[in-house]
Chain A
């Protein structure tokens, strides 16, 4: 017996609203981030992730005031990602109430940023987010909300980021994001096999079965989902119960 697997609802935030896209584009409004966060906290979510999805691509600042309002409402861990460029950004996010920050584009531009921030804030505060897309027979890392190809192999990158001091990896399959076809469990397992830190599966959850598969087949430590919860298809409670009934250790 050990640590329970986690369900992490994800708030993709654009212009102060929670949105959901398909393959990272075609955004659809899902509501107010503060209200949605409060509701997930009450429903028993294990953590919450807040992604400012266009922060990197628009090259603009962080939504500190909204993040602070979200943090004030919830008593579970909060990860904030999107547009995190330097240690000051991290310090400021932790100061408004984030527990962990997600680093994506900035890690590609300067991998040492991950080791520096991890030694300064502790690895527990540093989540490296990897957006991967299948190209022929391998997975490649993309940045800027999935807009730019990097030529970097996603599995090797995951291992490197773990070695550089990431406390956790958030792996998103861009091919599956918003499709509701299930996580890319081959991608998840390939990464879980080569790192000792927890990994979060993201991109594609469309049913409760997919959450179970992400843990069992993808060997993820946590599953991240947005649309299946935002639009009320399933409650967090239902999802946890289902996973528990399928032999997964959960906090009920």
Chain B
């Protein structure tokens, strides 16, 4: 049973669509019910939009603690803002995240000379910093779809699992024990994104 955390933000339908497409027999549900999230074997934590709003919406539904608990013990996939929320602090609205990973979320700076645009929107190559079951059947340097203006900075090297270049090299995937989180959107990254989600479904910790 896979729980896709619903806190009223972002396009959860596309994550759910993708999961159902690759694993039609694995039960999955978009949910904000703490009991269901608690009982689920695996948790997908998507996110889009602004971090302060996300925290507010999580708290409004009373599910911040159950999400943090899940991140401590079961296979947990953070996507986009679902990666950023795992860190200690964000420049966006100057809010605190879950503090599961050391580091902070910073904003990209536009640069006219080298034509760095914000948001970082589109397909970009992901360098695999280390081996991980989530990279199974995905070649190093494969492209994934990104859309974000903030990124994780000062991440401990041991947790950096993937990097991408947007004016500078930044951490786009992190992993620690039962957690894998990506700044890019696997649900929007065509075949290789589906492969990554498939890897999550078969990931055993």
Contact = CB atoms under 8 A, between A and B. Distances in A.
A66 B62 CA distance: 35
Given A71-B14, A94-B11, A124-B148, A167 B190 contact: no
Nearest to A193: B112
Given A3-B146, A41-B190, A122-B49, A71 B13 contact: yes
A39 interface: no
A196 B165 CA distance: 18
A46 B122 contact: yes
B167 interface: yes
Contacts of B147: 77, 124, 167
29 contacts: A1-B165, A2-B116, A2-B167, A3-B122, A4-B123, A5-B122, A6-B123, A71-B14, A75-B17, A75-B188, A75-B189, A75-B194, A76-B145, A76-B189, A76-B190, A77-B145, A94-B10, A94-B11, A94-B13, A97-B13, A121-B48, A122-B48, A124-B148, A125-B49, A167-B119, A167-B121, A168-B119, A196-B110, A251-B123
Interface in B127-183: 143, 145-149, 165-167
A221 B188 contact: no
Interface in B27-60: 48-50
B66 interface: no
B117 A196 contact: yes
- Tell me the dominant secondary structure on chain A's binding face: loop
- Interface size range on B against A: 35 or more
B122 A222 contact: yes
- What is the interface residue range for chain A against chain B? 35 or more
B116 A198 contact: no
B106 interface: no
A71 B16 CA distance: 12
B117 A197 contact: yes
Most chain-A CB neighbours within 10 Å: which of B143, B145, B185?
A: B145
B125 interface: yes
Given A75-B190, A76-B188, A99 B11 contact: yes
Residue among B21, B48, B110, B146 with the highest chain A CB neighbour number at 10 A: B48
B190 A6 contact: no
B193 interface: yes
A97 B124 CA distance: 23
Contact of B121 (A41, A119, A124, A219): A124
A123 interface: yes
B196 to A, nearest CB: 11
A2 B49 contact: no
A38 to B, nearest CB: 12
Contacts of B188: 75-77, 99
Interface string A50-92: 0000000000000000000001100111000000000000000
A20 B119 CA distance: 31
A95 B13 contact: yes
Nearest to B148: A124
Interface string A89-128: 0000011111100000000000000000001111111000
A2 B112 CA distance: 14
A196 B13 contact: no
Nearest to A167: B119
Nearest to A122: B49
A202 B134 CA distance: 37
Given A97-B14, A122-B48, A2 B124 contact: yes
B194 to A, nearest CB: 6
Interface in A154-182: 167-168
A201 to B, nearest CB: 14
A235 B163 CA distance: 31
